[in-house]
Amino acid sequence: MGGNSRIGIPWSDLPRELVERIADCLDTETDVLRFRAVCSSWRSSTTPFKKFPSTPLKLPFPFQAGGTSRVKHKGAYFSLAERTVYGVQLPESKEPSFWLVKIERSGDGKLRILNTVSDSQIKILPETQLPKLLNTLDFRIYEVCKAYTLRYTNPAKPKQNYEYKCVKKVVVSGDVKNDKYVIMAIDDVNKLWYIKSGDEKWTMVRDNCGSNNFLDVVNYKGQFYGIDVWGGTWVFDPMFNSTKITYNICRPASKRHLVDLYKGELFLVEEVTDKDKRVCTCYNFDDGCQCRFPRTPVRNTAVEITISRIDKGREEWVEEKTVDNQIIFIDRYICFRTEEKKAHYHDNDNYGYDDTWDYGYNYFECDCGVSSDDDAGTVDNFVPSDDVKLKFRGLHGHNTGVCDFATGKIGSLLMYPEYADIFWPPPSWLSSS
């Protein structure tokens, strides 16, 4: 036999120990399903994916014990709903294209398709070419990330199972083997709460100074990290004692997000909105603020976006000018990234964000402390053409924005339709394959 000859070994003949070691490295339900579908021997060597939580969680409502005495809320509780962002690609396609879709799965098994950034539900119109089933042999389907939200559930009023609007962020750390969990949540007034397995009530987190005013919280490398309204970054130990690891940030930004961008580093994304840029010029405080600032196309519009990473040596955030061809997606529940080489665009750094919620508690005001009377603003109603409105009507009005760091352009998603097709409508190859 020649020196270059090789003997092929069937996949099914791989040693059981090796198959088990490979399976232990799979941490998403999609990967486990595909792995177990290879052959019967692989399926018998591995166990099905264990979902977390194994049974629907019933969490206390509201956050503050005894916070409501209204009869209509008697028996109500929070239920945990899981949201998963999936990427879908053609396995043999020469086009570097993909489609992102966010699916919410509630405890009762119901599914909803959401805008990947704004979390608004996308209405499936009769003419939308969306298959009811996707064969994983025909497509490369992978999980990008997971997020969670709390839904208000009242057994006496089952039709009122809806997303609780007074929750800005929910982060979960779960032990799948023991079905143990820790959940942290930021409420509508920026208070940070947590609850652990076996707890009967939520506990409010207080930092070393006794304050509690947070814009974001994430689970990063097994620990909870939070950032407050002044730009201070905090890490919480298992007993929820907090340690401040970076100094405050001087620039005003009413929206701040923490994201595990790439290379295992934690990054900070800051949105400076139109209201952060407003400067009061009133000097006669007896007459009150007379400033009248112009309205913007989207309420609380981001006019400047910066990305920073922690310099551990100096314990401060250092601004980054590029994110190495990554696309960053930010909304109030989830922050994630994907490599831009999978998309249609090249040599750019992009950032998609949700402008539907302003986290700032004091940026609505002028410097004199008096609120301008145009705080309500307007919703995203920019549509460049009827064709764009028709094609992307599933996204119209969702207040989603785009920032391209290479060109510096920033604006409504529908102003730049070349980016919108990542989200909607579903690509033509999805229904034709």
DSSP alpha helices (H): ranges in 358-427? Answer: 386-391, 417-420
Contact (CB, 8 A) for 91 and 66: no
CB 100 within 8 A of CB 80: no
Residue 112 near residue 104, CB atoms below 8 Å: yes
* pLDDT value, residue 208: 61
- Position 3 pLDDT exceeds 70: no
User: Are the C-beta atoms of 352 and 400 separated by less than 8 Å?
Assistant: yes
**380: pLDDT strictly greater than 60:** no
Q: Tell me the percentage of the chain whose pLDDT exceeds 70.
A: 62
Residue 310: is its pLDDT beyond 50? Answer: yes
Most confident of 120-129, 213-222, 424-433: 213-222
What DSSP line would sit under 213-239, residue for residue? -EEEEEEETTEEEEEETTS-EEEE-TT
pLDDT at residue 371 above 50?
A: no
Residue 277 pLDDT: 66
pLDDT digits over 138-188, tens only? 788 888 888 888 888 877 776 655 555 678 889 988 777 777 888 999 988
CB 101 within 8 A of CB 329: no
Residue 430, H or E segment: helix 428-432
Q: What is the mean pLDDT of the chain?
A: 71
Rounded mean pLDDT of 96-108?
75
Mean pLDDT over 238-261 rounds to: 73
Q: Report which of residues 125 and 234 the model is more confident about.
A: 234
Asked whether residue 114 carries a pLDDT value surpassing 60, the answer given is yes
User: How many residues would you count in the chain?
Assistant: 433
How far apart CA 334 and CA 269 sit, in angstroms, is 12
Six-digit token string for 279: 């400067």
Average pLDDT of the residues in 289-307: 63
Rounded Cα gap, residues 30 and 19, in angstroms: 17
Task: Show the 3-state SS of 78-102.
Answer: EEEEEEEEEEEECCCCCCCCCEEEE
What is the reported pLDDT for 207? 62
* pLDDT surpassing 60 at residue 290: no
Q: Residue 415 pLDDT > 70, yes or no?
A: yes
Between 346 and 104, the more confident residue is 104
How far is it, in rounded angstroms, from Cα 210 to Cα 212? Answer: 7
* pTM beyond 0.85: no
- pLDDT value for 432: 59
Residues contacting residue 366 through CB under 8 Å, at least 6 positions apart: 278, 279, 280, 282, 289, 291, 372
CB-hemisphere CA count at 13 Å for 108? Answer: 10
Whether the Cβ atoms of residue 340 and residue 348 lie closer than 8 Å to each other: yes
Q: Which of 379, 360, 408 is nearest to 214 (CA)?
A: 360
pLDDT in tens, 49-101: 887 776 778 888 888 765 555 666 777 888 888 888 888 887 666 555 778 88
